[in-house]
Chains A and B, each alone.
Chain A
């Protein structure tokens, strides 16, 4: 099976803009989670979607939002970008209630 794919891999935006990141899970996986990785804060959980419903949410402001489509693909949106949003955004998928998450290569976002 193909692994988790994320697009784009690299992105440069300016403050105040918005951005949408995409994640395609492993075939058959219905759960998609998003994580932010920064040198200062490490790896932090953003949110998880399962069958198009948000099941869990981390401690991030409302500027961070997501959605999941019927084919399990997920998008993450960040509005009104701030310099501190520069990070590697990782997507992970898992099959139903199994515990193992499989990560994609990430999207590196740079906000100028």
Chain B
């Protein structure tokens, strides 16, 4: 079975500061990993995904994440936060080559202050 742990339910950063959202996974087989963002009253939008190609994955809106097998981590970063980045972020894992069940973390709400 697979699982995801997101450290920090709330993260607050200043505009222009580095964004770091943490995600650790547990999986018995090589996983696929995803970051989704959810704005208020909306569905989930895919930011980026890791599917066993390059370990450093670049996504939309300037976000990127690095897959570190030794640390079982897939942390999300952005060099400079913007007010529009305020949202809830979800890390998710699925097993390779199987049905599409995604297992989500509990989410991290990102607040961006002036």
Contacts and interface: CB of A to CB of B under 8 A. Distances in A.
Given A50-B99, A99-B94, A105-B43, 6 more contacts: A43-B107, A97-B97, A99-B32, A100-B49, A101-B100, A108-B41
A58 B43 contact: no
Given A42-B107, A99-B49, A48 B43 contact: no
Given A42-B106, A42-B107, A43-B90, A99 B43 contact: no
B42 A94 contact: no
Interface in A90-112: 90, 92, 94, 97, 99-106, 108
A64 interface: no
B97 to A, nearest CB: 8
18 contacts: A31-B100, A35-B102, A42-B104, A43-B90, A43-B92, A44-B104, A45-B102, A55-B99, A56-B100, A92-B100, A100-B34, A100-B46, A100-B49, A101-B46, A101-B102, A105-B42, A105-B43, A108-B41
Contacts of A43: 90, 92, 102, 104, 107
Contacts of A101: 46, 100, 102
A21 to B, nearest CB: 13
Interface string A55-75: 110100000000000000000
A33 interface: yes
